[in-house]
Amino acid sequence: MQKYRKYVIIYAFLLCFRFWISQSNSYIHPDEQLQSLQIIAGKFLNWKVELPWEFTSEEPIRSMVPLYLMLLPAFYTAKATCHEFCKPNTIYLLARFTMFLWSLVIDFSISRIVPPKKKWKCLLLYSISYLACSFQTHTISNSMETVFMFLTIMFLSKLAVSSVKSRKSYLLSVAASISTTIGLFTRITFLAFVFVPYIYYGFRWLKNNRQNMLLIFSHIFLMFCSCVLISSLCLYEDYKFYGKFTVTLLNNISYNSRFENLALHGIHSKTQHFFVNVPLLCGPLLPTFSLWNIRNAQAWFWIFPVAVLSIFPHQEARFLLPAISLYVVFAARYIRSRFLLLLFIIYSIVMSVFYGIMHQNGVVPSVVELGSILRDNGLLNQTSNNYYPATIYYWRTYTAPTWMLARPNSSPIDVVQLYNYSKEQTLSLFWEDHHNTQKLEKEFINFVSSKTISFPILVCPIALLQSDEDTKGLQLLKYIPYHVDLDDADELPLADLIRNHGIGIYAAKEVNMDP
């Protein structure tokens, strides 16, 4: 134990850093809210939410079981500890903590996959990466896909060296089948990530047990039965949620096989993954040349899935999270340069702070703040008769997680995301809505006399409203600092965005309000 003491101390420090990141308000991708927490909040808490098209189309493409595994612990914990009202921010932090716990499953898998002599080196290098600190602590399906990939590889690696005569081999077969099936229902790309591991470890397993073909077939049959059982469970849960028999796997394949559908999300070059996304995720570890050598079996573990995903024209960096996580783990076995290691540590810290703390950091707190304002004004009270129609506009931010407003289903308060709106269009719409609201207020005289807030409300980066002309007639209700993104770099220099970081909650000045 004394021999590994320093590794344990470093690992404990990295876990504390990862936990700290997990409790931040950063927002990496809209799917981490809209396709996860938003869905479960609407179903289990009966709050008014806006469901994304993935769940509302005629052919839904997302399965519910992976969401339940990812989020139900947080929601049930919140329900058990909250007597009357479950605070959305509490649920949010519990969900992020659950993802932190899921990330530990990856750590455990790594410790079981790699050779014992390399265990700590691989584990520490992965733990310092921003893939582990930032992406794996967010509620996106790619993170769960990575968890199930590592579990599958761990089970397969142990199965490959076990005797088919042992009881352990049967348990490993079932476990590998279950993790593979759930992984497929999480994302259809999962098959690309486990294809090479199945081939690699499958041949080793067959070679070690070639004298017992009957037992081999019994294992395969057991894996098939386990797959059918878990698939049936997933299909049943999807049937309960969607109200009809739905095979999300087939719907997903059908949707993503059409170019016109992918064009709605953005078309990229076929080389985007290899020449942009892989370098972005790998950072200074990119020149680990042993992992680019196709004669090295480990190289195929990440090259094959990246090549398969490069066939599709819509290519985001997060799609490669499972493959590049493996790349980082394997790179620890080959890296020799201390300078390269130092560069990777610096790169990981910078990226962890950017993606894990500052990226779109103001969106979640702004919704929490708006929820408090609306509740203080009696607009979110389930028993209130003050159903005053109002609109909240979000401009040039990621889609607001409206579930965090905790609106009752009958609430007339709407949240509108202004996509692709110019500054002039946004301000024009805001003031037009404001004048219409003033006319409407005459019908709500009793309520208006007691309210302390003016509608509509505008939420946007303060860097975009810097001139006196822009803010004329506007009152800054709340300033939320450390909100940074690169989406507005086409309008303003990056230095201005960083210097004027943060987003503001604005309303018209007609009504005074204590900040």
Average pLDDT over residues 60-88: 92
**pLDDT computed for residue 380 by the predictor:** 73
The reported pTM is: 0.93
Give the pLDDT score at 484: 83
Closest by CA to 144, choosing from 201, 79, 193, is 193
- Cα–Cα distance for residue pair 36/68, rounded to 1 Å: 9
> Would the pLDDT of 513 be above 50?
no
State how far the Cα of 148 lies from the Cα of 150, in Å rounded to an integer.
Answer: 5
Q: What is the pLDDT of residues 226-243, one digit of tens each?
A: 999 999 999 999 999 999
Comparison of pLDDT for 244 and 455, the residue scoring more: 244
Residue 313 Cα distances to 125, 146, 264, 357, angstroms: 32, 22, 11, 30
pLDDT by residue (tens digit) across 449-481?
455 567 899 999 998 888 888 888 999 999 999
Average pLDDT over residues 346-364: 95
Average pLDDT, the chain: 90
- The predicted pLDDT at position 368 comes to 94
| pLDDT value for 515 | 40
pLDDT of residue 464: 85
User: Of 22, 23, 44, 41, which is closest to residue 402 (Cα–Cα)?
Assistant: 41
* pLDDT tops 80 at residue 381: no
| Predicted local distance difference test score (pLDDT) of residue 409 | 86
Q: What pLDDT is attached to residue 500? A: 74
**Per-residue confidence at 411, pLDDT binned at 50, 70, 90?**
confident
User: Does the pLDDT at position 514 exceed 50?
Assistant: no
Grouping H, G, I as helix, E, B as strand and the rest as coil, residue 148 is helix
Summarize the confidence of residues 263-285 as an average pLDDT: 94
In this predicted structure, what is the pLDDT of residue 345?
A: 97
Mean pLDDT computed over 112-125 = 94
Is the torsion defined by CA of 293, 295, 298, 302 positive or negative?
positive
What pLDDT band is residue 510 in, cutting at 50, 70 and 90?
Answer: low
For 10-14, 426-430, 434-438, which range has the lowest pLDDT when averaged over its residues?
Answer: 434-438
User: What burial letters (b/e) apply to 314-329, b meaning 16+ CB within 10 Å?
Assistant: bbbbbbbbbbbbbbbb
Lowest mean pLDDT among 56-65, 353-362, 393-402, 492-501: 492-501
Report which of 478, 472, 466 is spatially closest to residue 506, judged by C-alpha positions: 478
On the question of pLDDT at 498 being above 80, the answer is no
Q: Is 70 exceeded by the pLDDT of residue 512?
A: no
| Neighbouring C-alpha atoms within 13 Å toward the C-beta of 70 | 34
Segment holding 299, helix H or strand E: helix 297-309
Q: Which of 308-317, 375-384, 408-417 comes out lowest in average pLDDT?
A: 375-384
* Per-residue CA distances from 106 to 114, 151, 310, 368, 480 (Å): 12, 7, 25, 31, 34
**Average pLDDT estimate for 14-42:** 95
Does residue 444 surpass a pLDDT of 60? no
- How confident is the model over 31-46, as a mean pLDDT? 93
